[in-house]
Structure 1
Amino acid sequence: MTKILSVGGSIIAPDKPDSAFLSEFVTMCKKWLDSDKQNRLILVAGGGAPARVYQNGLKEVCEKTGDAFDANAADWIGIMATRLNAQLLKACFGDYSKNDVVYNPTEENLKFDGQVLVAAGWKPGFSTDTDAVYLGEKFDAKTIVNLSNIEKVYTDDPRKNPDAKPLDTISWADFRKMVGDEWTPGKNCPFDPIASKKASELGMKVICAGGKNIPNIQAILEDKEYFGTTIGA
């Protein structure tokens, strides 16, 4: 069984690598992998907070110099942050992860030799959520677990709207109305618009859940009851 965990960069390294979280996360994942040698994990690392810090740095420089902000360059900065986080994840899993970090999820001869395959950002135009969808399509994984610093999808941004309600389930049609169709570098939404369009077309399911809740992530891997929002249920 192959499952995909899209791990937000703000969970891996909020301001520096969160070694306490990573050690718990890796231990739990290894336990699940060891329970059945057919179990495999694809881990897609996001750029998260480190990406946004550097993207904002570029924005501030542009404002000071009067130069135009280059969205493509900002996307590449975010991609490089995902690659650093991905190399860290791969190193944490040691011999479980036998292949190089995947940069291009559409590569024809992509190999998955161990029990863990780690991927990072590919190119501008979308986030690593889209890379996760491409990998799900390639390795026949119908569910993507999106781990971030939000535990559920809300009807609106709860930081701005106190009346926003958490959702247990939401259809792709309703979710796509919320996130729109366009990607901007550093966009902060539960699942990016480009990924959402492709996942809905492929009939995939996405589970959005809190990335720091290790027992809950374990419950998701074990197909038990979990706390989160299921998109496309």
Structure 2
Amino acid sequence: METIIISLGGSLIVPDSIDIDFLKEFKALILSHVAKDNNQRKKFVIITGGGEINRRYNKVAKELGSPTSEDLDWIGIASLKLNAELLRVIFADVAHNKVIANLGVPFSLLPRFNR
């Protein structure tokens, strides 16, 4: 089974508000490859960005506070996790049951995808 890694920018998910049309099309595209027979089926790893949500929160943090670079990084991490959770829910039938947030902790995609 082929594994494809996609870096999905947060600005595609939420350019100004959540782009439902884009997410519907993206879901249909991914599912069309997951649903194929076992010889042509693909496994996807989708990495999200923080996008516009991150930029907005960072802007407010800078205007109203004195955030450190690390503070801004943590805001960015929270925003990309929010986008990742949204995708996990959208793809619930075929997605891993948890967002992989710590690559330092061993995990396996195999039990979920060997069907």
One fold, TM greater than 0.5? yes
User: What is the CA-CA distance between 1:95 and the residue it aligns to?
Assistant: 1.2
- Indicate conservation of the 8 Å contact 1:4/1:42, yes or no: yes
- In 2, Cα distance between the equivalents of 1:36 and 1:27? 16
- In 2, Cα distance between the equivalents of 1:16 and 1:105? 29
- In 2, Cα distance between the equivalents of 1:26 and 1:76? 28
Where structure 2 has 5 or more consecutive residues not aligned to the other structure, the ranges are: none
Name the residue aligned to 1:51.
54
- Indicate conservation of the 8 Å contact 1:9/1:82, yes or no: yes
Name the residue aligned to 2:108.
111
Deviations 1:54-89, CA, capped at 9 Å, x for gaps: 011111113xxxx4x311010000110001101110
- Structure number with larger C-alpha Rg: 1
Q: Summarize the alignment of residues 1-233 of structure 1 with structure 2, pairs less than 5 Å apart.
A: 1-37=2-38, 38-62=41-65, 67=66, 69-108=67-106, 110-112=107-109, 113-115=111-113
User: What is the CA-CA distance between 1:45 and the residue it aligns to?
Assistant: 1.0
- In 1, Cα distance between the equivalents of 2:32 and 2:51? 26
Structure 1 counterpart of 2:16, which letter? D
User: What is the CA-CA distance between 1:93 and the residue it aligns to?
Assistant: 0.7
- In 2, Cα distance between the equivalents of 1:105 and 1:36? 30
User: What is the CA-CA distance between 1:36 and the residue it aligns to?
Assistant: 3.9
CA RMSD of aligned residues (A): 1.4
Deviations 1:148-204, CA, capped at 9 Å, x for gaps: xxxxxxxxxxxxxxxxxxxxxxxxxxxxxxxxxxxxxxxxxxxxxxxxxxxxxxxxx
- In 1, Cα distance between the equivalents of 2:104 and 2:37? 28
TM-score by length of 2: 0.87
User: What is the CA-CA distance between 1:15 and the residue it aligns to?
Assistant: 2.1
Structure with the larger RCO, 1 or 2 (CA within 8 Å, 6+ apart): 2
- In 1, Cα distance between the equivalents of 2:96 and 2:73? 28
Identity %: 34
TM-score by length of 1: 0.45
- In 2, Cα distance between the equivalents of 1:70 and 1:25? 35
Deviations 1:105-157, CA, capped at 9 Å, x for gaps: 2322x021334xxxxxxxxxxxxxxxxxxxxxxxxxxxxxxxxxxxxxxxxxx
Q: What is the total number of aligned residue pairs between the two structures? A: 109
- In 2, Cα distance between the equivalents of 1:52 and 1:14? 11
Q: Larger % of helix: which?
A: 2
Where structure 1 has 5 or more consecutive residues not aligned to the other structure, the ranges are: 116-233
